[in-house]
Amino acid sequence: MAAYASLLSLFQTLDNFPRPLQQTTSHLHDKVCRLLLILEDYSRNYLSIKHLDLEMKIRDASHEAQDIIESHISAQLLGKSEDGGLFRKMISGVQDMFSSAFYPRQTFDYTHQDFDLEFRGCFQKVIDEFDSILEALSKIKDAREEEEEASTTRNSSFAGSSRFVAGIKSEPVGLDQDLMCMKDWLTGSLSKLDIISIVGMGGIRKTTLARNLYNDSLIEYHFDIRAWVVLSQDYDVKLMFTGLVCSTGEPNGDLKHKSIEELAEHLYKNLKGRRYLVVMDDVWDTKVWDDEKRFFPDDNNGSRIILTSRQSEVAAYANSSNSIHQMSLLSPNASWDLLRKTVFGEKDCPSILETIGQKIAHNCKGLPLAIVVIGGLLSKDNTTQEDWGHIAEDVKSAARNGGDQFMEILSLSYNSLPHHLKHGCVP
């Protein structure tokens, strides 16, 4: 179904959007998640011939939203100046990115009030179109619900956007050791409920690691039930508990009028006696753990909770056993592998570009964020060997301008660290 594919592509684009501007796109993100839920719950092909017009509307609205996002984010990364060549514009975005990693407490040239206003104006028409689509598709969904009994399985029922964040595939380049270590912990002999935090700066692939663990066939088999919750800075307590209860097999319609306390107690009862895995993704505040911890039963059956955060203090707060997995920068080989796959996909890199490409990857100092930004831009333009050479030198200069604290600061987790791709969604 073309509409589903377009919608899923838009979801991934929104998930990769820069955090300073995610507030602008959050409403559309929610609508896309709701549409995906409807289509996924009733299979990607359930729309009949009489609904082809609606399918075309979904596809067209998705493409329009994607075009708006890509044109605006390209303007931010490449710069709006008409002076200079493509690569000088591109590297200015890279230098901003390095600056944000090196000197996170400084305010660098990334004010987005004007851009945000313009972006909202362009997006409003698309948001209205999605509202119309949601209304029409919800009616179809409701009619189908009257004909079929809702059926859930213990491992395939998720609520809200968390279902799709957990399900999107992402190749774990350079994460082999991390995956092995975490799998050993998840399936180990420790019987008591244990919590482990995955910690690192934005863009270092905390969510990618958690997602690959969550979708691993061995992990799926090991646990009776799994649930994935995305929290972020402004999380909703009731929505959080509703999502968790739904993921344990409870029909969403029965939960609408329950209080937070009722939902929390419901969660406890549903988890009681079962070996469960819960992922709490993107935790920013210790209050999140305070709100949840007493509703996770410990039946000495090997249940596990994974928490991802960019803040070490949040991770330590939730972990009495000090089980913290610190994300590392990529090795030179893994950096080149990620850049090559970002630019060329499954195709081979032309031999004349391989040495220069390895130099570019090396100059990114193992930061996935930098590698993907540069690789994504290179993949969209017809570049020559000479162009790649200029990029290699420019990226080296940008990294060198970060100062002597380059490697030290990249390894830290900062509060409100600015960046140009959403953390955790780097391939």
Structural domain count, the chain: 3
Task: State the average pLDDT over residues 41-50.
Answer: 47
One domain, residues 120 and 229:
no
Range of the domain at 176: 162-326
One domain, residues 135 and 166:
no
Report the pLDDT value the prediction gives residue 30, as an integer from 0 to 100: 76
Determine, yes or no, domain membership for 99.
no
One domain, residues 223 and 113:
no
Report the pLDDT value the prediction gives residue 19, as an integer from 0 to 100: 55
Cα angle: 87, vertex 13, 166; to 5 degrees = 130
17 and 119 Cβ atoms separated by less than 8 Å = no
pLDDT at residue 266 above 60?
yes
394 and 93 Cβ atoms separated by less than 8 Å = no
227 and 276 Cβ atoms separated by less than 8 Å = yes
What 3 state SS string does the chain have? CHHHHHHHHHHHHHHCCCHHHHHHHHHHHHHHHHHHHHHHHCCCCCCCHHHHHHHHHHHHHHHHHHHHHHHHHHHHHHCCCCCCCHHHHHHHHHHHHHHHHHCCCCCCCCCCHHHHHHHHHHHHHHHHHHHHHHHHHHHHHHHHHHHCCCCCCCCCCCCCCHHHHHHCCCCCCCCHHHHHHHHHHHCCCCCCCEEEEEECCCCCCHHHHHHHHHCCHHHHHHCCEEEEEECCCCCCHHHHHHHHHHHCCCCHHHHCCCCHHHHHHHHHHHHCCCCEEEEEECCCCHHHHHHHHHHCCCCCCCCEEEEEECCHHHHHHHCCCCCEEECCCCCHHHHHHHHHHHHHCCCCCCHHHHHHHHHHHHHCCCCHHHHHHHHHHHCCCCCCHHHHHHHHHHHHHHHHCCCCCHHHHHCCCCCCCCCCCCCCCCC
pLDDT greater at residue 122 or residue 201: 201
Share of the chain above pLDDT 70, in %: 60
Average the pLDDT over each of 59-73, 92-106, 123-137 and give the range with the smallest value: 92-106
Determine, yes or no, domain membership for 422.
no
pLDDT greater at residue 264 or residue 75: 264
pLDDT at residue 349 above 60?
yes
Type of residue numbered 266: H
One domain, residues 184 and 43:
no
Report the pLDDT value the prediction gives residue 425, as an integer from 0 to 100: 35
One domain, residues 119 and 217:
no
Which of 136-145, 157-166, 381-390 has the largest mean confidence? 381-390
pLDDT at residue 94 above 90?
no
The structure's pTM equals: 0.58
Average the pLDDT over each of 118-122, 123-127, 416-420 and give the range with the smallest value: 416-420
Q: Residue length, the chain?
A: 427
User: What's the rounded Cα separation, in Å, for the pair 297 and 326?
Assistant: 26
One domain, residues 141 and 186:
no
Tokens of 223: 């646990």
What confidence tens digit (pLDDT) does each residue in 236-252 have? Answer: 888 888 878 877 766 65
**Where is the domain boundary, 280, 305, 326?**
326
pLDDT at residue 376 above 50?
yes
Report the pLDDT value the prediction gives residue 380, as an integer from 0 to 100: 62
Determine, yes or no, domain membership for 60.
yes
Determine, yes or no, domain membership for 187.
yes
Report the pLDDT value the prediction gives residue 199, as an integer from 0 to 100: 92
The CATH number of whichever domain residue 311 belongs to comes to 3.40.50.300
One domain, residues 228 and 369:
no
Determine, yes or no, domain membership for 98.
no
Q: Which residues face 194 on adjacent strands? A: 304
What confidence tens digit (pLDDT) does each residue in 286-327 have? Answer: 888 888 888 999 999 999 999 999 888 888 888 766 688 999
Determine, yes or no, domain membership for 96.
no
Q: For 79, left (φ over 0), alpha (ψ -120 to 50), or beta?
A: left
Report the pLDDT value the prediction gives residue 297, as an integer from 0 to 100: 92
Report the pLDDT value the prediction gives residue 258, as an integer from 0 to 100: 84
Report the pLDDT value the prediction gives residue 116, as an integer from 0 to 100: 56
One domain, residues 351 and 400:
yes
One domain, residues 130 and 192:
no
**Where is the domain boundary, 326, 343, 373?**
326
The CATH number of whichever domain residue 34 belongs to comes to 1.20.5
Average the pLDDT over each of 163-167, 204-208, 215-219, 256-260 and give the range with the smallest value: 163-167
One domain, residues 311 and 192:
yes
Determine, yes or no, domain membership for 95.
no
Rg (CA), the chain: 22
Report the pLDDT value the prediction gives residue 410, as an integer from 0 to 100: 33
One domain, residues 319 and 384:
no
**Where is the domain boundary, 326, 350, 371?**
326
One domain, residues 312 and 341:
no
pLDDT at residue 165 above 70?
no
Report the pLDDT value the prediction gives residue 155, as an integer from 0 to 100: 35
Determine, yes or no, domain membership for 415.
no
Report the pLDDT value the prediction gives residue 172, as an integer from 0 to 100: 73
